[in-house]
Structure 1
Amino acid sequence: MTAAINQTVTGERADLLESLGQARFFLRFTARELTDEQAATRSTVSELCVGGLIKHVTAVERQWARFIVEGPGVMPGGDDPSAFEEYASGFRMLPGETLAGLLDDYERVAGATDELVRTLPDLDAGHALPPAPWFEPGARWSARRTLQHIIAETAQHAGHADVIREAIDGAKSMG
């Protein structure tokens, strides 16, 4: 164990980890006691399913954590039709995928991101965002801003998963 792991995380980093942990909890809690079939069920008119949302959030967190460390070159882009299909399949449970496997992968990615938050030398360090229609040209995100994006993405999709879960069997995350 490194010294950074043994140190108590306080202040802004503790707040980021707490917010991210809470959003992750609600997403995972929504999947409690689901079978693989239920986790793959599209219970609304949407293409989304609980397992697919967990898979998507895992990929998003992994990609943005890499962005923090490596910069925009790790972000997907371009007009390659296979890139869009890969992105779309990231919202679905594919044959052979299990909810347990998706949750295990999510746990590994979450652990790596948490370690990054604890040990990153500077939350102000940032990179230019990759070219995309949804980013302002020339925009930059600090590590802090990128972590806030991961938190927002996770919380948003936890809400989506809650609606899908309620439509499957009436179970709710809260209330």
Structure 2
Amino acid sequence: MPAIPVYHPGERLSLAELTAARIDGEVVPLGASFLPADAAAPPATRAASIAPLIGPSYAFVRRTAAWIHGACEQLDEPIDVQRAVPAMTTRIVDRAVRYHDQELPSADAVLLGGCRVSSPARTLADVARLAVQPGADPSGTARDAAARLARDERTRAAAIAWFADHRRRPHSVAALALLRRQDDVTR
């Protein structure tokens, strides 16, 4: 399958040229980039559309990863980024980025669109923890993303297994209960 072209402002075309192409109906915005109006946006394309926002030492996580995996309609700001290398890195200082300094293990990451993204199972575990954390999900996007990701039995089972290996994470008991309720609903 041929790669879908993702146009990042300032590379081949300026932002003004891409905006004109958008007005003409030739491209549509996606993340921080544009793609052809008739193109689909699979996870690799979604990841590629925001890849220029981070460097190779980082990974997209939580709600941002949920958007990449197709579980959210809109890309929420700030985007969630986590360190994906063992050594400390320079912290990203940007209002549009929520930086998490704990290392994302390589077992919990996948490579999509040229950048690291938390795996669907790890993303489900993270958004489920956000969904049950008091005050952390006022719009309900984490709960909706968790419900969409949990529809896939393998992803849900892998997230439940992840919690078995990471029992001491904040809100993991309530998040695990949420996933088990999802498991009961789908049976």
Sort the TM-score into its range (normalised by shorter chain): under 0.3
Q: TM-score, normalised by structure 2?
A: 0.21
**Per residue, is there more helix in 1 or in 2?**
1
Q: TM-score, normalised by structure 1?
A: 0.22
**Per residue, is there more strand in 1 or in 2?**
2
| Higher RCO (CA < 8 A, seq sep 6+) | 1
